[in-house]
Amino acid sequence: MTDSNILSSKQKALKINLEESIYGTFAEIGAGQEVARNFFQAGGASGTVAKTMSAYDMVVSDAIYGKEESGRYVSESRLHNMLDKEYEVLIERLAEIRGSKTKFFVFADTVAAKSFKGITDCHGWIGVKFQHIPGAKPSEAILHVQMLDNLNLQQYEALGSIGVNLIFSCFFNLGEASSFVKSLMENLSPERIEIDMIRVSGPAFKGVDSRLLSLELVNNKYTNCAYFDETGRVQQASEKFYKKNIIITRGSFRPPTLLNVDMIQTGLKAFLKEIPKEEHSQVLSLAEISMNKLLDRGKVDSEDFLARVDLLASLGQKVLISNHNRYFGLNHSLLKWTKKKIAFNLGVYNLEQILDENGKENEELGPLESIGRLTGKRTKLFVYPASEVDQGSGKSEHLITSENIKISKDMQLIYQFLKNKNLMEDILDFDVKVTSIWSRKVLKMIQEGDKNWEKMVPKEVAKLVKEKKLFGSLEK
């Protein structure tokens, strides 16, 4: 078998065409039949293609697949309706004739590519519903992509390549998460197309967690962020964040502590005061973990990552994973997704780092530009205090707020500007009893078998840590 890394899109299509057991339907809306085109041009398409179609007209499309409640044709629900309908027809017509020796599949996409009308949000939903062995229940692989090429013909070409890659990978590359994700971007680059969501299901992906695939997307820089809802399920960030007011709390959450919970709750309460009451239902509170917080000796610990998402989900908390080490980089991504207000809910020591002229937060752009990119007309900082603990007595000695952090004389001017312009605000209604709790301290206690750690985390977190023996816990 030829190494897939050296195969072009046409070569992959030909390999599939020559595999007698693979047979199915292509249904494409929005950019021509770019994926099916590769199979026809490769030769031998009669061995693979049962049907191709493109229901461009909205009335025709609705007649075949039904109307969408949202009224949107480029949507995940439309993609699922396309996959389900075409797979049902395919099985109904061909299963009896050739089902014992055929792995049936349906490929579908619904996209908004660049057009003469000047569409700027060029994106699409792409999916495959398939049997990994003849007679098997179907499995699915779903992607959302952003098409970044400036010319429509280039976008069409990129769409064709990623569609072929997806079909090929579902039949020939069902290995571990990293190799599967990397195979989707063969013959492409992140400058041309961004995969910002991936979700898989079914027997072909037994033991594969979609969240790990999303993590690989971020880890390989195929996208900047991956979003998980309060159930821990993968969602498409730009769609869920659209027209939302967003407050984001960055941390390691290893594990989530009572301090983390109080910080999230008090930050959200303060943020809501900035938002009109009629928009309160459109506010998202996110716990964010940057990739550098997931690295262990240069590698991502998958079990550790899943543990943190599960623990935050047990608290009903939405989670964002990003490859932004700097606050201003994360803010830039958020500004692309929403035109509403954004807030960063951060600890007082994080503010100290942001205002450190020579610190890591400012080494790339310098303090003026990095702080300028972080704050602005729509972005505000809420600052949560910390208690310094006397090492002798173990009791809180004094409280650290933005008023008494250590910053240079020059940076005092920037600090005062942020205060005067209401771009920064101290959180006041915090629980002082939890302000000296740190995740790293709790983690050490868990690993050393000190049961007092349970008093420092929510009950739901303590229960899961003990049940699943997370973070090196020795308890049952």
pLDDT in tens, the chain (476 residues): 345 457 999 999 999 999 999 999 999 998 879 999 999 999 999 999 999 999 988 899 999 999 888 888 899 999 999 999 999 999 999 999 999 999 999 999 999 988 766 656 899 999 999 999 999 999 999 999 999 999 989 999 999 999 999 999 999 998 888 899 999 999 999 999 999 999 999 999 998 999 999 999 999 999 999 999 999 999 999 889 989 999 999 999 999 999 999 999 999 999 999 999 999 999 999 999 998 888 765 677 888 899 999 999 999 999 999 999 999 999 999 998 999 999 999 999 999 999 999 888 888 889 999 999 999 879 999 999 998 765 455 555 689 999 999 899 999 999 999 999 999 999 999 999 999 999 999 999 999 999 999 999 999 999 999 999 999 876 65
Q: Return the closest-CA partner of residue 249 out of 231, 232, 236, 262.
A: 262
| pTM of the predicted model as reported, rounded to 2 decimal places | 0.90
On the question of a cis peptide bond just before residue 255, with omega within 30 degrees of 0, the verdict is yes
Q: Where are the domains of the chain?
A: 4-223, 238-471
- CATH class of domain segment(s) 238-471: alpha beta
Query: CA-CA-CA-CA torsion for 304, 307, 313, 315, nearest 10 degrees?
Result: -100
- How many CB atoms within 10 Å of residue 148? 16
CATH of domain 4-223: 3.90.950.20
Return phi, psi of residue 423, to 5°: -95, -5
Query: CA-CA-CA-CA torsion for 71, 72, 73, 77, nearest 10 degrees?
Result: -90
